[in-house]
Structure 1
Amino acid sequence: MLTTISWIALGIGIISSIIIMIDVVRHPQMMTIMNVVWPINGWFFGPFAIWSYFKWGRLKAKDYDGEDNRGRGAKVFMSTSHCSSGCTLGDAAGVPIVMLTGFTLLGTTLFAHYVVQFTLAYIFGILFQFYAIYPMNKKAGVMQNLKNAIKADTLSLIMFEIGMFGWMAIVHFGLFAQPPKPTEATYWFMMQIAMILGFLTSYPANWFLVKKGIKEAM
């Protein structure tokens, strides 16, 4: 039953990503990196990502000439989506690395996943933030914009990983007698849930960063 549910959830996520991707190609975002962010969100948020994209994301398309009526909550949601997508990409990329290398830490693959995935999630997350702010402030130069990206996204990245890693620990030590493997659909369904929880733990951090002026609301 869980395997069937997992395949259904993964299928919905992939279809949601494709739907968003098709529309993004037809209506590119003003901020180029968001053309990548929205389809990635589709993978773990599914239909909710489609709804949020057409409600808020389309307002930032290059060919949209209407009023931007988003409130702060929606803008912080987009900032969190931007952060989460970079983390998601890094976390997903880390899975096959651990699996193919057989890397373990302290006798378990879970801690190996923590190290590899956090490292890649941090790199991708900062790069996503960099490519959000650099086009708007090229005069500051690459290094200054990179420093600004690190300052703006480090806290939210850490909070995302806390939510995600917490769920991974529950899955690894509590939910299954034998944790699912990356070759199984159940593993990736658990990862989808982990991404959603990471988003939820990252949202308050993004709200704080935006409120303090450390990070720009998208």
Structure 2
Amino acid sequence: MMVQPTWLVMLAWASLFVVFASTVVVVVDQFVLGYRQPTKIMEMVWPATALYLGPAAVLTYRKWGRTQSPRWRDRHGKPPRASRHAPTTIQTYHCATHCTLGVIIATPITYGVGVEMFGSTLWPEVVGDYIGAVAIGVAFRYSAEAATGGRRAWAAIRKFFRADLLTVSVFEAALLAWLALMHFRFFHETLRPGSPVFWLIVQVGLIIGFFAAWPPTLLLIRRGIKTELVGTPQ
């Protein structure tokens, strides 16, 4: 088995510490300090974003997320005008959360079961991640339907496929390309979820997926397909 360099293992642990600390900062701010989000889904989106963007997610949360909370508005009034990129970025965060949670849930399951496809553990992981991302995306839409007076499964599925599937698919394709490169070219299938380096590689893949998913999100917004801009500054 390939021995991972000590510097890479230390870097992976440091990165994990930073993103977990960033996630804790967001969670404490929302649930302990009381800066709750008016849209409950965003109370999952912001911490999930911190799991791969770390301090960058904390900065955008404090600028665009915290200022949306009733507690902040009661104290400070109307928040300052947000950047014109805020809606696209936050909507990309939203869809990226589907993929992030899909990876976190599906990856340990597929590796734990030990399923292989075409002689590799990567392909079952990719399939599991994608199915998980779609399922979570539909669940988010289903939850949002409750706010409109009904929990309509077919409505949630239609809205997800219309407004979110493209972004999720592009994100997952970029993540797959990165994982395949690392899996076959550099680590020769030695990476496993028990290694911190594995999760560093996943974290970088999620960042790549975010930047890949940003342009299609912008396109969907400009074409009026993604009209429910959940969690964006008003």
Q: Give the shorter-chain TM-score range.
A: over 0.9
* Residue aligned with 1:11, SS: helix
Mark the structure with the bigger radius of gyration.
Answer: 2
Post-superposition offset of 1:141: 4.3
Counterpart residue identity of residue 9, structure 1? S
> Going by fraction, where is helix more abundant, 1 or 2?
1
User: Which runs of 5 or more structure 2 residues have no equivalent in the other structure?
Assistant: 1-6
1-side partners of 2:85 and 2:65: how far apart? 13
1:115: Cα distance to partner? Answer: 1.0
Q: Is 1:14 matched up with 2:7?
A: no
Q: Return the match for 1:61 from 56, 69, 72.
A: 69
Q: Aligned equivalents of 1:100 and 1:152: distance in 2? A: 33
Determine if contact 1:129/1:149 at 8 Å carries over to the other structure.
yes
- Are positions 1:70 and 2:57 aligned together? no
| 3-state SS, counterpart of residue 69 of structure 1 | coil
TM-aligned CA distance change 1:139 to 1:99, over 3 Å: closer
Whether 1:205 aligns to 2:216 is yes
1:170 aligns with 2:170: no
Give the Cα–Cα distance (whole angstroms) in 1 for the partners of residues 71 and 145 of structure 2.
22
Could you tell me how far apart the structure 1 residues matched to 2:94 and 2:213 are? 11
1:52 and 2:52 equivalent? no
1:108-147 to 2 correspondences below 5 Å: 108-131=120-143, 133-138=144-149, 141-147=152-158
**Is contact 1:126–1:153 with CA below 8 Å preserved after alignment?**
no
Tell me, in whole angstroms, the C-alpha distance in 1 between the residues paired with 2:141 and 2:149: 14
SS at match of 1:107: coil
- What's the counterpart of residue 159 of structure 1? 170
Amino acid in the other structure paired with 2:82: R
Equivalent in the alignment of 2:48: 40
Deviates more, 1:197-206 or 1:3-12: 197-206
Corresponding residue SS for 1:64 = helix
Q: Sort the Cα spacing of 1:63 and 1:135 in 2 relative to 1 into closer, same or farther, 3 A.
A: farther
Residue 4 of structure 1: aligned partner: 10
Change (3 A) 1:40 1:144: same
> d(CA) in 1 for partners of 2:24 and 2:220?
31
C-alpha distance in 2, partners of 1:126/1:165?
A: 21
Q: CA deviation at 1:97?
A: 1.1
Contact 1:163/1:200 (CA < 8 Å) preserved in 2?
A: no
- Paired with 1:193 and 1:176, the residues of 2 have a C-alpha distance of 15
Structure 1: which 5+ runs fail to align? none
Identity of matched residues, %: 28
Among 177, 189, 207, the alignment partner of 1:196 is: 207
Asked if the contact 2:142–2:152 (Cα under 8 Å) also holds between the matched residues in 1, the reply is: no
1:83–1:129 CA contact under 8 A, matched in 2 = no
- What residue number does 2:3 align with? none
Residues 84 and 125 in structure 1, CA contact (< 8 A), matched pair in contact too? no
Distance change >3 Å, CA 108–CA 140, structure 1 → 2 = closer
- For the residue of structure 2 that corresponds to 1:56, the secondary structure is helix
Equivalenced residues, count: 217
Which stretch of structure 1 is more off in the superposition, 175-184 or 108-117? 175-184
Given residue 29 of structure 2, which amino acid in structure 1 is its aligned partner? Answer: D
CA contact (8 A) 1:160 1:198 kept: yes
Q: CA RMSD in A?
A: 1.7
